[in-house]
Amino acid sequence: MYYVVTGAAGFIGSRLVAALNHAGIDEILAVDNLQRADKFRNLVGCEIHDYLDKREFLARLEANEFEGAFEAVFHQGACSDTMETDGRYMMENNYRYSCALLDWCQEEEIPFLYASSASVYGSGRVFREERANEAPLNIYGYSKFLFDQYVRRAIDGGGSQIAGFRYFNVYGPNEAHKGRMASVAFHAVNQFLAEGKVKLFVGSDGFPDGGQKRDFVHVDDVVDVNLWFLEHREISGVFNCGTGHAQPFNDVARAVVNGVRTSRNEAELSLEQMVAQGLVEYVAFPTQLIGKYQSYTEADLSMLRAAGYGRAFQTVEKGVGSYVAHLLAQPNAK
């Protein structure tokens, strides 16, 4: 029996494969689209049984070639570019593909655990898993929102486990291939190494310079949530997956700058000292993001905790600090 991980060569998918390996599981079918071939590096240190392109996988699935072959499906694959404007591609890739995979898992009575997104909440200020709070700002968020509605109807009909996780701002190892869609922490480290400063947006939506707040969650905490639900197959639903604590972008910048300084045996600085020394700089808010930007996110963890998941999540100070050390240990780090 094989565990399927879609998006296996991607950011969260590859960390999930590594965690399954750590748990003694290597009968893994890795599914992905390697059109951007550099993602393969994320799987080099992992053990898998086989790899299939996402299109071949779906075709063989619909041809019923995998009957009785799978233990569970972790559906992490998606187009996560929030600036993508091709709605037809986004809906086919994120919605229709997901619907077909979910339907098959329900017919085969296989647990289906998948990646949703906090983008479904749009510019709202209430992040609770209820329809009234969901108003996505872009086609990516809408594709995730629409599939969540499909899932809710499927759950109401009974069947095997379906668990969706609305990821908030995930950061951590194996995200370099995401380019401009990589996390704030990733870009801040590379910017600081290249330019000697971290650039943040000036104030917006009532927040001060660098004071916009997000729920920043480490990728390994996200993976832990996935694996916990696999161990509790009686639980289905759509759940927020964040720390439950919003922190300003200034906190990320401070963790990055001090992480690099610590590696150089330099003293840590306060945010005020960093700004005064030009190590943190505030830049104009991009016009193309006006009306499409979440200035505040904070996961309401009530449903997750009620389901029984009680483990703590890493703070920005701890999680970003360890991530900085990881990035600095890479061969191409300056």
Nearest CA among 128, 297, 299 for reference residue 214: 297
- Cβ distance 116 to 165 under 8 Å? yes
* Catalytic choice (140, 167, 171, 323): 140
* Catalytic choice (51, 178, 199, 282): 178
Nearest CA among 159, 145, 169, 158 for reference residue 218: 169
- Cβ distance 247 to 320 under 8 Å? no
Q: Which residues contact 260 (CB under 8 A, 6 or more apart)?
A: 189, 192, 193, 324, 328
Dist. CA 303–CA 240, nearest whole Å: 8
Q: Is 292 a catalytic residue?
A: no
Q: Is 140 a catalytic residue?
A: yes
Token pair, residue 316, equals 């920005």
Dist. CA 204–CA 265, nearest whole Å: 35
CA-to-CA dists, residue 28 to 14, 24, 47, 57, 329, angstroms: 11, 11, 8, 13, 28
CA-to-CA dists, residue 238 to 25, 136, 161, 190, 307, angstroms: 26, 16, 11, 34, 11
- Cβ distance 43 to 30 under 8 Å? yes
Name the residues annotated as catalytic.
140, 178
